[in-house]
Structure 1
Amino acid sequence: MKHLAVSHPTGVELNLQRQTNGSEPWHSWYRYPKLGVALVYYDYHNPVLGRSYAATTYINKSFLRTPRHEVNFRIGTGLAYFSNPFNLETNHKNTIVSSRLNATMQMRLEYDVAVAEHLGLLVGLGLNHYSNGATTKPNFGINLPTVFVGFNYHQQRPFVPTTVPADDTPADLGHNFLNLSTSLGFKQRSPIDRQKYLVHSVSVLGGRRVGRKSNLLVGLEGFYDRSLIQEQRDTARNADTLPDVKKAGVLVGHELLFGRLAVVTHLGFYIYNPYKSNKFYYERIGLKYHVTDRLFGAVDLKVHRGSADVIEWKVGVKL
């Protein structure tokens, strides 16, 4: 990738954020974070990479807050559009972005100091990541370490909570539950094979709410990746004795709770894996949202040793 790391990208970002006020119990659990949306533009100063345009949603948590100073950590996710993705005929050198539409993740540490009643000077360090989750290949993705400077307009400073809950203990604290879910995803094997293959999974997870912010999980799941069938046919000498491509695994996991929203992290180990196309373990990170107390949806990224395997679109029920 040295032929692509020949410039210093520059960008502009516009943010709109809203201060949580205690109207939901989880606001006080995280010391009243800000919720926001950002529009992010980057020029890579490289004709192979072109430009990117992204929209993200994020949460911004304060670690230090005084009438004049704030130190915040922010994390967000969204979608990005790239102007010049990989094309086998016209842009074959762009081996890190193969589709116009990509997922993005943003992390940053920022310092805000008041320079006027409503105006703050903003400086900090950040990291922007772009990837399509192996939906299209090649997909090495882009990581952009950034130094930024800007200004914040504060409608209210210093912040004073308007609502302080009397009892914010969750009703289901210490309770067990069962999650049943299924997911679909699509992936491409290689830049040559342009077909999208279906990946399917089913999960049975038991969990327990162990704190205001946390659920712990353990369970079983099964996978059926149809791209592995074609991979076998391309390499096998005898098509009559191909091993089973279905897989089963056990996992442990954690959910970081923000009301109906949760940030999901899993670590799994394959216990049935006849066709060893990958390592014996896998990781997952995602976002889960409860539409009702029973029904939920999720978007997860399944990873093998730091390399994206598939984006899973999941639906399930909590019992």
Structure 2
Amino acid sequence: MKRSISIFIYLLAVCSYAQDIEQSSKEQRPTLFGVNIDYAYILKHSENLKSIDDAFPKSVGISWSKLLLTKSAWEFCNCFPRLGVDLAYWDWDNRDVLGNGVLAMAFAEPYFRTQKRTNILFRVGLGGAYLSNPFDDTANPQNLSYGTNLSFALMVGFGFNYRFTDQWNLNVMAKYNHTSNGGIKNPNKGLNFPSLSLGVTKSLEPLKFPQFEKTGKREPPKDKQRLSVVHFSGWSNASVGDKDKFYVFGFMGKYSRWIGGRSAVTVGTELIFDYSRREQIKQDGRDANFLQAAALVGHEFWLGKVTFSQELGAYYLNDFRINDDIYQRYGLTYNFNSHFFAGFNLKAHRHVADFIDLRMGYTF
């Protein structure tokens, strides 16, 4: 899953950069329409889900996209990205418990080996899901996968595209799909379902892939290092007693160092005040500190004013231990100027989201 998230962040970077590409009448940006079908398997990644029967979801989807056959796109990734939107109907193969769903995503899909008839491609999708049959204490107590009708949706995939003609394409992909409400309401174990996908796309004009030379190493940024402090706030993904919403806030300090291309490595520390932990300590009648402190190492993509980050944290202060000592963070921030930035971040212990926070920071 960590590797999938890293690929996800990289491909999001491709999508973010492509949005800033200048228009040119001499460069081709053809429109494509597609239809695809998926066959999947729902992973029972938690003991609480073992009671649900095996499920093999199926879906049918349609897509609209633009293929950026531009020099600017090529210089960024030595590839030609396809950017678009996808709408899919999913039958979860367990209607009494899981119901069905509609997933809508924006996606980025870089193409490699474009001078060949068979191309290598990656895909990332990020969007939302409508899920029809959430958890209910009396009507649907078995559905611990999702507790709200609306959820976030994430997909990463790898596959091959075969060009029958200059306009018709067939693609085959292996995907990893995930839905979660980000800790808004429990239960929130999420739906995790790898799938095999078969799709057909039709371009409205003949595709002619330019033959550009591969770009070399990029010039280093003006400032090769950053020292930042951050304040973050959110809502904890926890249920204690009859409450399921608890405020969480904290502070982070981080040092980032550019290492080449658009990448930087990071080290840092953070303090976390999660009030669901304080409530649990109170109910248990324990004498413990609810404060958490952790050290983090990670990686960032620097893309002008946008930064994508992935970090691994390890607690060095965790007096009240109710989860793993290791966790992950995935974030997106926007730099308003050389000092101030803001964004959001997801904290998770393995496959379970802890909380999503909004953050503001200052770079020295």
TM-score (norm 2): 0.77
Q: Which of 164, 167, 173 is residue 124 of structure 1 equivalent to?
A: 173
Higher mean displacement: 196-205 or 63-72: 63-72
Structure 1 CA distance for aligned equivalents of residues 349 and 216 of structure 2: 45
Q: Which has the higher contact order (CA 8 A, sep 6+)?
A: 2
Structure 1 CA distance for aligned equivalents of residues 78 and 236 of structure 2: 37
Q: Which residue of the partner structure matches residue 27 of structure 2? A: none
Conserved 8 A contact 2:127-2:152: yes
Using a 3 Å threshold, how does the CA distance of structure 1 residues 244 and 219 change in structure 2: closer, same or farther? same
Using a 3 Å threshold, how does the CA distance of structure 1 residues 193 and 161 change in structure 2: closer, same or farther? farther
1:228 aligns to 2:277 (yes or no):
yes
Cα displacement (A) at 1:8 = 2.3
Q: How does 1:110-121 map to 2 (within 5 A)?
A: 110-121=159-170
SS in 2 for 1:144: strand
Conserved 8 A contact 2:128-2:152: yes
Using a 3 Å threshold, how does the CA distance of structure 1 residues 303 and 23 change in structure 2: closer, same or farther? same
Structure 2 CA distance for aligned equivalents of residues 122 and 207 of structure 1: 39
1:255 aligns to 2:300 (yes or no):
yes
Aligned residues: CA RMSD: 2.7
Cα displacement (A) at 1:222 = 0.9
Cα displacement (A) at 1:67 = 4.7
Structure 1 CA distance for aligned equivalents of residues 334 and 62 of structure 2: 26
Using a 3 Å threshold, how does the CA distance of structure 1 residues 296 and 39 change in structure 2: closer, same or farther? farther
Q: Which residue of the partner structure matches residue 150 of structure 2? A: 101
**1:253-311 CA deviation, whole Å, 9 max, x = no partner?**
10134444333111122222222233333221233333444433332221224432112
Letter in 2 for 1:129: H
Cα displacement (A) at 1:51 = 1.6
Using a 3 Å threshold, how does the CA distance of structure 1 residues 43 and 205 change in structure 2: closer, same or farther? same
Q: Which residue of the partner structure matches residue 39 of structure 1? A: 87
Q: How does 1:69-80 map to 2 (within 5 A)?
A: 69-80=118-129
Higher mean displacement: 198-207 or 257-266: 257-266
Cα displacement (A) at 1:197 = 0.4
Letter in 1 for 2:117: R
Cα displacement (A) at 1:61 = 2.5
1:310 aligns to 2:358 (yes or no):
no
Cα displacement (A) at 1:162 = 9.0
Using a 3 Å threshold, how does the CA distance of structure 1 residues 153 and 257 change in structure 2: closer, same or farther? farther
Cα displacement (A) at 1:163 = 11
Q: Which residue of the partner structure matches residue 148 of structure 1? A: 197
SS in 2 for 1:41: strand
Q: Which residue of the partner structure matches residue 198 of structure 1? A: 247
Q: How does 1:287-306 map to 2 (within 5 A)?
A: 287-306=332-351
Conserved 8 A contact 2:91-2:99: yes
Using a 3 Å threshold, how does the CA distance of structure 1 residues 142 and 247 change in structure 2: closer, same or farther? same
Q: Which residue of the partner structure matches residue 210 of structure 1? A: 259
Paired residue total = 313
SS in 1 for 2:113: strand
Q: Which residue of the partner structure matches residue 28 of structure 1? A: 76
Using a 3 Å threshold, how does the CA distance of structure 1 residues 108 and 204 change in structure 2: closer, same or farther? same
The answer for unaligned runs of 5 or more in structure 2 is 1-48
Conserved 8 A contact 1:22-1:165: no
Letter in 2 for 1:203: M
**1:92-118 CA deviation, whole Å, 9 max, x = no partner?**
111111112212210112221112221
Structure 2 CA distance for aligned equivalents of residues 196 and 287 of structure 1: 24
Conserved 8 A contact 1:9-1:42: yes
Structure 1 CA distance for aligned equivalents of residues 306 and 125 of structure 2: 13
**1:104-134 CA deviation, whole Å, 9 max, x = no partner?**
2101122211122211012222121111233
Q: Which of 253, 270, 278 is residue 315 of structure 2 equivalent to?
A: 270
Structure 2 CA distance for aligned equivalents of residues 112 and 263 of structure 1: 28
SS in 2 for 1:44: strand
1:57 aligns to 2:102 (yes or no):
no
Q: Which residue of the partner structure matches residue 210 of structure 2? A: 160
Higher mean displacement: 114-123 or 257-266: 257-266
Conserved 8 A contact 1:67-1:157: no
Structure 2 CA distance for aligned equivalents of residues 274 and 17 of structure 1: 50
Using a 3 Å threshold, how does the CA distance of structure 1 residues 48 and 278 change in structure 2: closer, same or farther? closer
Larger helix percent? 2
Higher mean displacement: 302-311 or 111-120: 302-311
